[in-house]
Amino acid sequence: MPTLTITQGAKNCFSLSGDLSFETISNKTINELKVHTSHSPSYIDLQALQKIDSAGVALLIEWIKFAHEHQQELLFDAIPPQLAALIKLSDLSDCDLFKTQDIEING
């Protein structure tokens, strides 16, 4: 059975590992980052993700929306090729939603 693990490292730094998919997302997962609001940026490291599907993209967008509503910046590190392809396929690459620490993901 696929699993998703969210680990908090330093303050506002999170790491996702495993599968970010319909099978692994629960209400707890949806709210996992929502309890961590601050005025400094939050970082999400995606390097250890093995699989991501459209439900995973939807979850990341939900986290981005929550961060924006609370005047918080959400930055991603190590966006996997599978996520970059889903972003482009979903026509989201021009929306500036998925910001990384260095650059924004654009088509």
Q: In this structure, what DSSP letter does residue 93 have?
A: T
Q: How far apart, in Å, do the first and last CA atoms of the chain sit?
A: 33
pTM summary value: 0.83
Main-chain phi, psi angles of 7, to 5 degrees: -115, 130
- 11-22 tens-digit pLDDT: 788 999 999 999
Coil, helix or strand at residue 58: helix
Under a CB-based contact definition with an 8 Å cutoff, are residues 4 and 19 in contact? yes
Domain ranges in the chain are: 4-89
pLDDT band at 105 (very low <50, low <70, confident <90, very high): very low
pLDDT at residue 71 is higher than 90: no
CATH architecture classification, 4-89:
2-Layer Sandwich (3.30)
pLDDT at residue 107 is higher than 60: no
- 23-52 tens-digit pLDDT: 999 988 888 876 666 777 889 999 999 999
- 77-99 tens-digit pLDDT: 999 999 989 988 887 776 667 77
Main-chain phi, psi angles of 58, to 5 degrees: -60, -40
Q: What number is the average pLDDT over the span 46-59?
A: 95
Compute CA distances 33 → 5, 43, 82, 85, 88, whole Å.
12, 11, 22, 24, 24
